[in-house]
Chain A
Amino acid sequence: MRFIATFKIALRALRRNKMRSTLTALGIIIGVGAVIAMVGIGNGAKSQVEAQIASLGQNVVLVFSGNFSSGGVRSGWGGAGTLTIEDADAIQREIPGVVGVSPEVRGGQRVLANGQNWRTQVLGEGPDYLNIRDWPLDDGAMFTEQDVRGAAKVCIIGKTIANQLFPNEDVVGISLRIRDIPFKILGVLAPKGLSVMGSDQDDVIIVPYTSMMKRLERRTNINSIMVQAVSPTVSDKVQRDIADLLRQRHRIGPGRDDDFTIRGQQEIADAATATTRTMTVLLGAIASVSLIVGGIGIMNIMLVSVTERTREIGIRMAVGAHGRDILLQFLIEAITLSLLGGIIGITLGLTTAKVLSAVAGWPTLVSASSIIIAVLFSAAVGIFFGFYPARKASRLDPIEALRYE
């Protein structure tokens, strides 16, 4: 009962100084709004990167030939050719928990069709490739094991190729020429969008890896092997087993470096999201500064308010208010200001995030947890910065306070 009455007193005091209350809360509004918007931008970028990582496929393990001890994921692609088709077969045959294996040979080629030409990436892959990458076909069908065995002159093409070379045409069944060799188009891939690194994943032609090796690149080794584990839990074991198997096959003695590199999907995701995570933290930290400044604004105003209302405090104490009643009153004022500012700040932050997404095209993601944290944090700011002025008020001597002019 006494608490409710004190609460009402505090609210009345805030209403009486509307302009001041609004300006004080504004510091918190901007602080919380900035934190919500900035963290939203950071999280949006992170989730976008994660979505791109997921477009790689489920539980994918990549085995690259060549040895690169450091650097980004892509450095060394197409490096020293130490992997062979036999390695891929062995992985498929001997390692438990593997559901799909696709040897990969990469190359860039100029493609001719329809009197047009287009330079693109040509991938030599196994028939499992689309299953591993969870990549559906818009039209037609994937080449088969038989096509691989016969090094067939068949291909499937990405959406970008289809649009560039065959605008408004039904392409399945017709041919395009790669290195003057006609390849029959079996299917068109569904669009997949940009990769983690920003390249167009749809600008691609996929042929059987045997065709790639014998007819286009004339080589005997492969760039990498894409392996799919049956579940995320066995993914680590599969990685270890592949390493053991390949060291054995490549006759690498103990203490010598691998001539291949294995990357799990999680590692790739971690590397790719590290930057955006750093950005999120940085943006959040900068925005937090304004929240702290807002808190100091509250403390400042509450101190002024205590001095200004010394006589009021004296009157209240004279008619029977305890020190803690006064403490509570000023604390509630501070917390109300900061909480109210927090709630309005959330609205402002959400709006800013929306506007940024719409206008600048940045993806934003405001999570429920960041909203809850913002509310709790603004309440904490109120308590922290409101406590000192409130305690000062509660310790006033009623006689002195009554005499205060």
Chain B
Amino acid sequence: MPAVIKLEDVQKTYHTGEVDVHAVCGVSLEIAKGEFVAIMGASGSGKSTLMNIIGCLDRPTSGRYFLDGADVSDLSREQLADIRNQKIGFVFQGFNLLSRTSALDNVELPMLYSRDHPASHSALEKATHALEIVGLADRADHLPNQLSGGQQQRVAVARALVNHPAMLLADEPTGNLDSRTSIEIMGVFQQLNEQGITIIMVTHELDIAKYTKRNVVMRDGRIVADTPVAKRLNAQDELRRLDQEHQAVQLTS
């Protein structure tokens, strides 16, 4: 399997006043196509910084970063923007949808900034298709504030998918959701992963990480553990179990 992401001794140092903060010091990591990885760690472990570098929002101070085979360590701001547009789909903790903008228009957003900007009817088709994938085709004209948190996150996933990126990058995607909705979103991720989409997710919740295939743990800017998930949870099964428990509670009361 070719590596989608290859980090070679990546370092990131922030200069804040007198002190240099080494947010990431010497991370090497390879993620192959079709993987489903959770990057874990406490706050301040450098996982968000690593995430920003992987997401091409930030550049490493030193080291090399190959995305989809191409070195993106030294690209300009504009080139990074194009990479983000073409190769990376973002899902954020706070959903980050444009307010007062319909779900469909939100999903169309990345296509507005594509270099080969598609014609409006094909853009509409693609956006509708992306919404179908996350099961929200019937809410296309809803505004974000008319959707539940889980639905908003699905719209965000659809937006991330619309340009057929090399990978999906999720930053605490379940951080703002209740446990049941979190499992639903993990179900969406698992489904997408089964279709061959590479997913990298940052989380600090252990039980959420169990839905992925591989866990990378960070501490103080270094990778301290990199293990495949032994007892992987299946979102479908978990949801069914939750429903049964719920019914049981209702019966007993």
Bound-complex Cα distance A9 to B100 (A): 13
Q: A282 contacts the other chain (Cβ, under 8 Å)? A: no
Known: A319-B159, A320-B82. A399 touches B57 (CB 8 A): yes
Specify which chain A residues have a CB less than 8 angstroms from the CB of B98 in the assembled complex.
312, 315
Contact B85 A398 (CB under 8 A): no
Asked whether, in the complex, the Cβ of B52 is within 8 Å of the Cβ of A320, the reply is no
A-contacting 9-mer, from B105-113, B173-181, B217-225, B232-240: B105-113
| Binary flags per residue of B6-20, CB closer than 8 Å to A gives 1, else 0 | 000000000000000
Residue of A nearest to B58 (CB): A399
Question: Which residues from A are CB-within-8-Å of B36?
Answer: none
Residues of B within 8 A of A9 (CB): 112
Which residues of chain B in 65-82 are interfacial with respect to chain A, using CB atoms and an 8 Å cutoff?
Answer: 77-78, 81-82
| Residues A376-405 near B (CB distance < 8 A) | 398-399, 402
Within 8 A of B (CB), among A111-164: none
Nearest to B90 among chain A residues (CB) is: A318
B84 in contact (CB, < 8 A): yes
Which residues of A have CB within 8 Å of B90?
318-319
Query: Which residues of A (275-326) have their CB < 8 Å from a CB of B?
Result: 311-312, 314-323, 325
Contact A1 B85 (CB under 8 A): no
A218 contacts the other chain (CB 8 A): no
Residues of B within 8 A of A318 (CB): 55, 57, 84, 90, 96
Would B117 and A1 count as touching, CB distance under 8 A? yes
How many angstroms from the CA of A404 to the CA of B84 in the assembled complex? 20
Report the Cα distance A402→B57, complex, angstroms. Answer: 11
Contact pick for B86, options A1, A320, A321, CB 8 Å? A320
A311-B96, A312-B98, A315-B96 given as contacts; is B112 within 8 A of A322 (CB)?
no
Known: A398-B57, A399-B52, A399-B58. A320 touches B114 (CB 8 A): yes
Q: A372 at the A/B interface (Cβ < 8 Å)?
A: no
**A234 to B57 CA separation, bound complex (whole angstroms):** 77
Instruction: Give the number of residues in A that approach B within 8 Å (Cβ atoms).
Output: 23
Within 8 A of B (CB), among A56-82: none
Interface of A is mostly: helix
Bound Cα distance from A16 to B81, whole angstroms? 27
Contact of A2 among B58, B84, B101, B112 (CB under 8 A): B112
Contact flags B44-57 to A (C-beta < 8 A → 1, else 0)? 00000000100101
Contacts of A2 in B (CB 8 A): 112-113, 117
* A-side contacts of B109, CB under 8 Å: 315-316, 319
Residues of A within 8 A of B84 (CB): 318-320
C-alpha spacing A249/B77, complex, angstroms:
87
Smallest beta-carbon distance A320→chain B, Å: 2
Q: Is B92 an interface residue (CB 8 A)?
A: yes
Given contacts A311-B96, A312-B98, contact A319 B57 (CB under 8 A): no
A398 to chain B, nearest CB (A): 5
State in angstroms the CA–CA spacing of A316 and B114 once bound together: 12
A319:B110 contact, CB within 8 angstroms: yes
- Of the A-B pairs whose beta carbons lie under 8 Å apart in the complex, a sample of 7, sorted by A's number, is A9-B112, A314-B96, A318-B84, A319-B85, A319-B90, A399-B57, A402-B92
List 11 additional A-B contacts (Cβ < 8 Å) besides A315-B98, A319-B109, A320-B110.
A2-B117, A5-B112, A6-B112, A9-B112, A316-B113, A319-B84, A320-B82, A320-B84, A322-B78, A322-B82, A323-B78
The 3 closest A-B pairs by CB, nearest first: A320-B85, A320-B113, A319-B110
